[in-house]
Structure 1
Amino acid sequence: MIRSGMAIGVWSLEHMHAQSYLSALTRRQDLREVRLYDSTQPELVARLAAELPLRVVSSEQELLDGLDGVIITSANASHREMALQAAEAGVPALVEKPIATTVEDAQTMVEAFQRAGLVLGTAFPCPFSPAFCELLSLKRAGALGDLLAIRATNRGSMPGGFFIELERSGGGAVIDHTVHVADLLRRLTGSNPTRVYAEVGHGLYHQSWDDSALLSIEMGDGSFATLDCSWSRPRSYPTWGDVNLRVIGSRTTAEVRLFDEHLTHYPWEATPARWVSWGTDLDAAMIDDFMLAVRNGGVPRSTGEDGLWALRVALAAYQSARTGAPVTLD
């Protein structure tokens, strides 16, 4: 039974999205408490505790005890262990993308939460974009006709940190930026991906981790998509990256840019210009959806199964790049 005034926790600051989630949570008026547990960055924890109305806890047990929901924002390879701890404690979880680094880990997580009767969500904010929702409405109304092809990009800047430590991230640009668009493709086409071909490179930073890739994804409805998921944005670029879709239908063509609502800020100082978003806070919308599912015993818009499917596409891309052949998804 969920009490009025929920307690929500954020577990780890390793992923940069954690700070956005904390900001969204602490702005809410309907929470009894916001908890934070992180054992890796004490200086950042202290700064956030001074800036935001949250409670810093000193252990996993203190975090999970009596908690109504937890957002897991650790390095990718730690998601499984943390999620299983949450499930054992009876705490619903929203897990940062990618949901895991292996299909086996993701499947274990999904099954654990199913057995416990708990909500498991994947942190996919893009389905809450008004632009994507309008595109989805056009498709469902038949305005696009039959979907033929989709050109997608999810290009970004190289984030550093655990993202380029392969044993902790599970990969580079491909596992980081394939999953968002793979999820959107499933929603838009109403079908699952059936085959993936990928060319993956290391030509931007010349390191062991992948920094560039081009995927071709065949969907169950007969359409196909290409995806550029490269970390190709330089440090001087005015924003982190993009999520864009150009959709070719039998009746018309549509294009959406999910993060195009911005102002360009030119500082007086000799620093690069920055884009400042004025659009919908997609992270806040995603958290609201997760909390609603927990409170009402419902299903979040992005489930653990959605995260599993998106991960399968990313891992298929790596397999395709290794073998030089398309990979079929069952």
Structure 2
Amino acid sequence: MEQIRIGMISFAHGHAYSYLHALRNVPNVTVVGFADSDSARAAAIEREHTLTRYQDHHKLLAAGLDAVIICSENVHHARLTIDAAHAGVHVLCEKPLGVSLIEMKEMIEACEANSVQLMTAFPCRYMPGAREAKDAIDRGEIGELVAFKGFNRGKMPGDWFVNPSLSGGGAILDHTVHVADLMNWFLGSAPVEVHAVSRTLFNDLPVEDSGIVHMKYSGDVVGVLDTSWSRPKSFPVWGDVVIEIIGTQGVIKLDGFAQKNQVFSESNAQTKWLHWGQNMDALLIADFVNAVKSGTPVPITGRDGYHSTKVALAAYESVSSQGPVKLSEY
């Protein structure tokens, strides 16, 4: 069977390491190499993961790739995606898709103009509970959807995530997009209005570390999301993804990381949670590779990434104006 040639651009985001591991376990995939603008990080990747290093991403894109996975700092997503599109290379881009509506539209349009696929990395869609909730909603088991109540509370990640010149924002941008995408997916539409508040409550940072985002959908469906870096360093895992889905005939409570074992370790003097369920990153990668191989549409598109990020960007606008913000369709 024909080999699929995939490269990786940047290991700035921690998901890059799990994506690389997943790629190496997919049949008929060759990981050609990687490029990373951070020389110290690149040297460590080359040494520890025996991965061929390219001096810049243009040389990697010219190495006969079928696809590339982009896990750079957020502000570089657009430029790297557009460069890949012009090289005729399919793209899986880490979330958030971009840091402005204009650049995300440019990413989508560049990929469409060059007939390459753009997939947004939303592994939370592959949580077993999320899949089961989606199926139950589609079967009409809880009637018509009325409201969502979501939580994405994590540890403060530090590093470039708290540098707005590289991240494009703080906890609102980082932690709104996953749950907003799930809500959009469950309902089959994006919000029409956003109203948000934010603060820097838990850390001394140049960006916000907490926020509450209210969403209004057509048909009077509403949603509310706690998007924060409020978990302490001692918390057993990085954070959570929890959604209560309220319908006219029932309620579904989704805990994305409920499948876990508690591990008590003297070495780190704290309890850890180890996930034992399906590997959502591996399922995401498998779907992306299959779409590239078969030429079928990717399951989570650039437009999906656009609509979830648009919620976060509207939240910032709402915080600034201290009022609700209307959202356009595209």
Q: Same fold (TM over 0.5)?
A: yes
Quick one: distance in 1 between partners of 2:30 and 2:107? 28
1:176 to 174, 177, 190: 174
Question: Does residue 22 of the first structure (1) align with residue 1 of the second (2)?
Answer: no
1:130-149 equivalences in 2 (<5 Å): 130-149=128-147
1:198 to 193, 196, 199: 196
SS in 2 for 1:150: strand
Quick one: distance in 1 between partners of 2:299 and 2:218? 21
| CA pair 181-239 structure 1, distance change in 2 beyond 3 A | same
Letter in 1 for 2:57: E
| CA pair 33-270 structure 1, distance change in 2 beyond 3 A | closer
Q: CA deviation at 1:57?
A: 2.3
Question: Does residue 76 of the first structure (1) align with residue 74 of the second (2)?
Answer: yes
SS in 2 for 1:266: strand
1:211-230 equivalences in 2 (<5 Å): 211-230=209-228
Name stretches of at least 5 consecutive residues in structure 2 with no aligned partner: none
* Alignment root-mean-square deviation, CA: 1.5
Letter in 2 for 1:7: R
Question: Does residue 109 of the first structure (1) align with residue 103 of the second (2)?
Answer: no
Quick one: distance in 2 between partners of 1:108 and 1:127? 25
Contact 1:71 1:95 in 2 (8 A): yes
Quick one: distance in 2 between partners of 1:108 and 1:142? 37
Name stretches of at least 5 consecutive residues in structure 1 with no aligned partner: none
Q: CA deviation at 1:185?
A: 0.9
SS in 1 for 2:225: strand
Letter in 1 for 2:261: L
Q: CA deviation at 1:280?
A: 1.0
> Which residue in 2 is equivalent to 1:62?
59
Q: CA deviation at 1:188?
A: 0.7
Question: For residues 245-302 of structure 1, what are the alpha-carbon distances to aligned partners after superposition, in whole Å with 9 as ceiling and x for unaligned?
Answer: 1111111111011111111111122522211111111111111111111111121111
Letter in 2 for 1:156: G
What percentage of residue pairs aligned between the two structures are identical? 37
Question: Does residue 236 of the first structure (1) align with residue 234 of the second (2)?
Answer: yes
Contact 1:26 1:54 in 2 (8 A): no
Question: Does residue 289 of the first structure (1) align with residue 283 of the second (2)?
Answer: no
SS in 1 for 2:150: strand
Q: CA deviation at 1:78?
A: 0.5
- How many residues of Structure 1 are paired with residues of Structure 2 in the alignment? 327
TM-score using structure 1 length: 0.95
Question: For residues 38-77 of structure 1, what are the alpha-carbon distances to aligned partners after superposition, in whole Å with 9 as ceiling and x for unaligned?
Answer: 13143x4444444445322222233112011101011100
Letter in 1 for 2:225: L
Letter in 2 for 1:291: V
> Which residue in 1 is equivalent to 2:93?
95
> Which residue in 1 is equivalent to 2:154?
156
Question: For residues 205-255 of structure 1, what are the alpha-carbon distances to aligned partners after superposition, in whole Å with 9 as ceiling and x for unaligned?
Answer: 132201000111111242111100100011111101011111111111110
Quick one: distance in 2 between partners of 1:91 and 1:172? 30
Quick one: distance in 2 between partners of 1:45 and 1:166? 23
TM-score using structure 2 length: 0.95
